[in-house]
Amino acid sequence: MPLPGPLSHLDGPTLLLFGLYAGLAGAYLVAVPLALYWWMGQRWTRMGKIERTAVYGLVFLFFPGLILFAPFLNFRLQGQGESAA
């Protein structure tokens, strides 16, 4: 069954390549940044110097994906937003 419209001339290897690009983009923008956020949340107060440097490098490398999720995540420590009455 041929694909509709302007995609009708694409063959199997081309579609496979597009799928590969989509998978890599999804890993770069979604999967790895979410895993990195999870890792930082688990280890932030216990990281050593080398691990923290490596995490900073990964934050730099995956910054576009991290910035997509930044508005939805909260890393404040418990009790930071409460006023002492």
Task: Name which residue leads in pLDDT, 1 or 56.
Answer: 56
Q: Is residue 48 part of a domain?
A: yes
What pLDDT, on a 0 to 100 scale, did the predictor assign at position 12?
A: 79
Residue 49 lies in a domain: yes
What is the residue range of 58's domain? 32-70
Question: How far, in Å, CA of 59 to CA of 69, rounded?
Answer: 13
Q: Specify the DSSP class assigned to residue 27.
A: I
Judge whether 22 lies within some domain.
Answer: no
Taking only the tens place, the pLDDT of each residue in 48-73 is 999 999 999 999 999 999 999 988 88
**Residue 81 belongs to a domain:** no
Contact predicate 69/33, CB 8 Å: yes
Domain count, the chain: 1
Query: What are the distances in angstroms from CA 14 to CA 1, 5, 11, 22, 68?
Result: 16, 16, 6, 12, 29
